[in-house]
Amino acid sequence: MKKFTIVMLILIGVYLALPIFATALYAFSTEWNKTILPEGLTFEWIRTLFQDTRFVEAFGRSVLLSGGAVLLSILFIVPAIFVIVLYFPSFEKWFQASVVMVYAFPGIILSVGLIRFYSGTSLPMILAVLGVYVISVLPYIYQGTRNSLRNVQGRQLMDAAELLGASKIEAFRKVLLPAVYPGLFVAALLSFSVLFGEFVLINLVVGSRFETVQIYLMSKLSTSGHIASAIVFVYIVLMGILTLVMAIVTKKAKGMTRA
Amino acid sequence: MIMNRKKSVLLILVPFALLMTFFFLVPLIYMLISSFSNSDGFTLEHYQEALSSSYILQGFKNSLALSVVSAFVALVVSLLGVYAMTHFSEPVRERLLILSNLTSNFSGVPLAFAFIVLLGNSGLFTLALDSFGWDLSFSLYSWSGLLLIYIYFQLPLTIMLLYPIYSGIQQQWKDAAALLGASTFAFWKKIGLPILFPGIAGTFTILFANAMGAYASAYALTGSNYNLAAIRIGSLISGDIFAQPELASAIAVLLGVIMIIGMLLSEGLIKKTRKDLSKR
């Protein structure tokens, strides 16, 4: 039984790794149409990609849109979570209900609602997508903020700081925020990586008028396999870096609360 | 004074409430209303059209089958895989989890492309099998091809959700059961799995919903050709010539209803198991 399950674990690993390795290999191969393994290796595709202003601009748009949405949700949603968790715990079940709803409704349903409602208004569609992005990272932001508030016993920390003469704002800025910062940082990175990979909303609601990396990749899918694999390779590397940073920060934060 | 402070604290909730209202609730409610209306006012015709069109119903059938099968396969495989992880020390387990998380963002268009590289018309495996003279008559651009992709993006999520559930099973329980003469198999059948069941049912629901709402991979692979509920919605809302936004709204509402029913079913199942467990 034990051996069988370990074989299963290895098979899962192989299944998850294979598409990644194949794409990476394709991104660095010269000719690969008839043979099983590529005929040679080259950096040409990656270089071409980064010399393509269309890609660089698309990358910039993706970073701007996802980063902007995460920033806005930290500015507007995190304070709301703080207030509810610390001072109005009776509201928390309503808040959790909205978190579940946001998590449950997929982009394809939301995009219909967005198009129906906002196509009749003067609000630019890209701002409508930005607004939905800010809301759609709610589950990750909520989970991260609430867990770190619980871990550091936020309410007691605030009360203690206020008892020692700090104003509410001072206590928040100098005591509470640094204590929950690692958890918040990880939640922000996670949200960013989820939004960076978002395709449904941006493609259906805005389309090629605001070309993100995902939309650029879609357009290269049928025209150039090598360039497409170079894009996917860059995407995987970026996601890998983000995941590793998240893992390291989480581990450090754990060590801090233990000490 | 205290009332004022409470009010000023409540002000912090206003931006969140506005965002939630205008970018989530209002669009969804507007979609619900538009699915029931035409130029004359209230109507059920869009639902009639959706439910009497064999093409749209086929899309729902394909989506349901793909979601149930991919969730089931990912669940069974991950149950075994995560069980294997419990044999390793904590640092090793953590590293394995990080590796699994690395792939959790690999979905949608990039994932579809990676599978084209592997199994597409001139993919790595397709060419390799050809050169051996094997013809599997397998097409990536079909239901079974999509199933492979769906299983792929379900796996990291399943592992992430099952891992903490497993760690709820404590070594002492296994030792106690073994002392009382239970085999490993008997332990899992009588104690382990019933305790895990609510978590497994909850995980299944999330996976089901995850697959029902998935759009990008299938779209990247087959355009609007492969018939799924999500693909139907996409082509009806964005079609330049034949856009039928009211019909798209009705299908989107039906999709939402199916997902809510799935959630309620699993909730009921979980409550029932908890009751049965506490009766024993």
Angstrom distance (rounded) from CA B199 to CA B161 = 8
User: Is residue A36 over pLDDT 70?
Assistant: no
Q: What confidence tier does B47 reach under pLDDT thresholds 50, 70, 90?
A: very high
Probe site for chain A from B2, B19, B100, B217 (most A CB atoms < 10 A): B19
Closest CA to B196 of B204, B227, B71: B204
- Tell me what pLDDT residue A258 has: 52
Cα gap A82→A96, rounded to integer Å: 14
Question: Are residues A115 and B249, on separate chains, in Cβ contact within 8 Å?
Answer: no
Give, for B144, the enclosing helix (H) or strand (E): helix B143-166
Q: Residue ranges per domain, chain B?
A: 55-279
Under DSSP, the state recorded for B161 is: H
Range picked from A119-123, A204-208, B192-196 for highest mean pLDDT:
A204-208
**What is the reported pLDDT for A200?**
95
Judged on CB neighbours under 10 Å (0-12, 13-18, 19+), B251 is buried
Q: Tens digit of pLDDT for each residue in B150-202?
A: 999 999 999 999 998 887 777 888 889 989 988 888 888 888 888 888 889 99
What is the mean pLDDT of the segment spanning B113-142? 82
Domain B55-279: state its class.
Answer: mainly alpha
Q: What is the pLDDT of residue A259?
A: 45
Amino acid at A233: F
Beta bridge partners of B42: B37
**Interface touch B216/A117, C-beta < 8 Å:** no
* Least confident residue range of A119-133, B6-20, B207-221: B6-20
CB B143 within 8 A of CB B62: yes
Q: Is A1 helix (H, G, I), strand (E, B) or coil?
A: coil
Which of A41-45, A109-113, B207-211 bottoms out in mean pLDDT, i.e. has the lowest?
A41-45
Closest by alpha carbon to A74, among A181, A230, A233, A204?
A181
Q: What is the mean predicted confidence (pLDDT) over B226-236?
A: 94
DSSP state of B42: E
Q: What does the pLDDT average to over A175-180?
A: 86
CATH superfamily of A59-224+237-258: MetI-like (1.10.3720.10)
Task: State the average pLDDT over residues A109-130.
Answer: 92
Provide the pairing of β-strand B41-42 with B37-38.
antiparallel
Chain B residues 178-217 with a CB less than 8 Å from chain A: 184-185, 209, 212-216
Please tell me the predicted confidence (pLDDT) of residue B72.
97
- Give, as one character, the DSSP assignment of residue A199: -
Q: Residue A35: pLDDT above 80?
A: no
Which range has the top average pLDDT, A222-231, B65-74, B137-146?
B65-74
A171 vs B70 pLDDT, higher one = B70
Q: Which residues of A168-181 are buried (b: 16+ CB within 10 A; e: fewer)?
A: eeebbeebbeebbe
Average pLDDT over residues A161-177: 86
Of B2, B20, B134, which to mutate for an interface test with A (greatest number of A Cβ within 10 Å)? B20
Answer whether A217's CB lies under 8 Å from B110's CB.
Answer: yes
Out of A61-70, A161-170, B47-56, least confident range: A161-170
Look at phi and psi of residue B169 and say left if phi exceeds 0, alpha if psi is from -120 to 50, else beta: beta
Average pLDDT over residues A76-92: 89
Mutation pick from B13, B82, B149 vs chain A, by most beta carbons of A within 10 Å, is B13
User: Do residues B113 and A221 lie in contact, with contact meaning Cβ atoms separated by under 8 Å?
Assistant: yes
Q: Are B237 and A112 in contact (CB under 8 A)?
A: yes
Closest listed residue to residue B142, CA positions, set B59, B222, B215 = B222
The pLDDT assigned to B2 comes to 57
In residues, how long is chain B?
280
- Rounded Cα distance, A105 and B25, in Å: 11
What pLDDT does residue B138 have?
A: 80
Nearest CA in chain B to A233: B110
Average pLDDT, chain A: 89
Closest CA to B224 of B233, A26, A252: B233
Nearest residue on chain A to B254, alpha-carbon basis: A109
Angle, vertex CA B120, rays to CA B119 and CA B125, nearest 5: 35
Q: Taking CB atoms and an 8 Å limit, are B212 and A106 in contact across chains?
A: yes
- Indicate if the pLDDT at residue B275 is higher than 80: no
Q: For A101, what's the count of Cα atoms within 13 Å in the CB-facing half-sphere?
A: 14
pLDDT at residue A152, as a whole number: 83
What is the chain A residue with the closest CA to B11? A80
Q: Is the pLDDT of residue A172 over 70?
A: yes
Q: Find residue A29's DSSP bridge partners.
A: A41
Question: Cβ of B77 and A12 within 8 Å?
Answer: yes
Instruction: Report the gap between the CA of A126 and the closest CA in chain B (Å).
Output: 12
Span B213-221, mean pLDDT? 94
- Tell me what pLDDT residue A191 has: 96
pLDDT at A10 over 70: yes
Of the listed ranges A152-156, B1-5, B44-48, B249-253, the one predicted with least confidence: B1-5
Domain limits of chain A?
A: 59-224+237-258
- Among A5-9, A125-129, B4-8, name the one with the lowest average pLDDT: B4-8
